Amino acid sequence: MKNVIEDVTCAGCCCVCDHIQVTTDGQQIIDVQTTCPQGQAWFAQSRQTEKQQPLIKGIDASREAAIARAAGLIQEAQSPLLCGMGQSAVDAQRAAISLADLTGATIDSGASAATRALQQVGEANCTLGEVRSRADLIIYWNAENLRFNAHHQQSLVPPGEPVPRKIVTVGSELPGDSRGVDLSLTVSVEDEFEILWRLRALLKGVALEGTTAGELASLAALMQQSSYIVIFFGPASPDERLFHRKLEALSLLAREIQAERRCHTINVPAAGATKGAEPVLAWQTGYAAAVNFAAGYPRFSPCEYSTVKMLEQGEADLCLLIGEDPLTGLSDQAIQRLQQIPLIHVGPVPLVDLQPEVYIPTGISGIHAAGSLYRFDGTPLPLRALISTQQASEAEILNQIETLLKPVMHIC
Q: What is the pLDDT of residue 272?
A: 58
Give the C-alpha separation, 184 to 47, whole Å.
Answer: 42
What's the pLDDT tens digit per position in 323-362?
Answer: 988 888 788 899 999 999 999 999 998 998 899 999 999 9
What's the pLDDT tens digit per position in 222-235?
Answer: 999 999 999 999 88
pTM of the complete model: 0.88
Q: What is the pLDDT of residue 223?
A: 94
Does residue 173 carry a pLDDT above 90?
no
What's the pLDDT tens digit per position in 134-168?
Answer: 999 999 999 988 898 888 888 888 887 778 999 99
Q: What is the pLDDT of residue 92?
A: 96
Tell me the domain boundaries of the chain: 53-111+276-363+390-403, 115-267
| Residues whose CB falls within 8 Å of the CB of residue 359, separated by 6 or more in sequence, listed in order | 54, 55, 66, 344, 345, 350, 351
Give the C-alpha separation, 70 to 72, whole Å.
Answer: 5
Give the C-alpha separation, 309 to 293, whole Å.
Answer: 16
Is the domain spanning 115-267 CATH 3.40.50.12280? The answer is no
Does residue 384 carry a pLDDT above 90?
yes
- The single-letter DSSP state of residue 190 is G
What is the CB neighbour count within 10 angstroms for residue 15? Answer: 24
Q: What is the pLDDT of residue 120?
A: 76
What's the pLDDT tens digit per position in 3-19?
Answer: 999 999 998 888 889 98
Whether the CB-CB separation of 86 and 273 falls below 8 Å is answered with yes
For residue 155, the surrounding DSSP H or E stretch is helix 150-155
What's the pLDDT tens digit per position in 269-278?
Answer: 876 566 778 8
Handedness of CA 82, 84, 86, 92 (dihedral sign): negative
DSSP string, 240-285: -TTHHHHHHHHHHHHHHHTTTSEEEEEEPPSTT--S-SHHHHHHHH
What's the count of helices (H) and strands (E) in the chain, helices before strands?
15, 19
Q: What is the pLDDT of residue 347?
A: 95
For the chain, the average pLDDT equals 89
Mean pLDDT calculated for residue range 33-39:
86
Does residue 256 carry a pLDDT above 70?
yes
> Regarding predicted confidence, which is higher, 63 or 48?
63
Mean pLDDT calculated for residue range 104-128:
81
CA distances from 239 to 189, 194, 245, 333 (A): 11, 19, 14, 10
Give the C-alpha separation, 68 to 60, whole Å.
Answer: 14
DSSP string, 197-240: HHHHHHHTT----STTHHHHHHHHHHHHH-SEEEEEE-PPPTT-
Q: Which of 230, 226, 223 is nearest to 130 (CA)?
A: 230
For residue 22, the surrounding DSSP H or E stretch is strand 20-24
What's the pLDDT tens digit per position in 285-336?
Answer: 988 889 999 999 999 988 899 898 999 999 999 999 999 888 887 888 999 9
Q: Which of 357, 351, 326, 350 is nearest to 65 (CA)?
A: 357
**Is residue 336 helix, strand or coil?**
helix
CATH class of 53-111+276-363+390-403: alpha beta
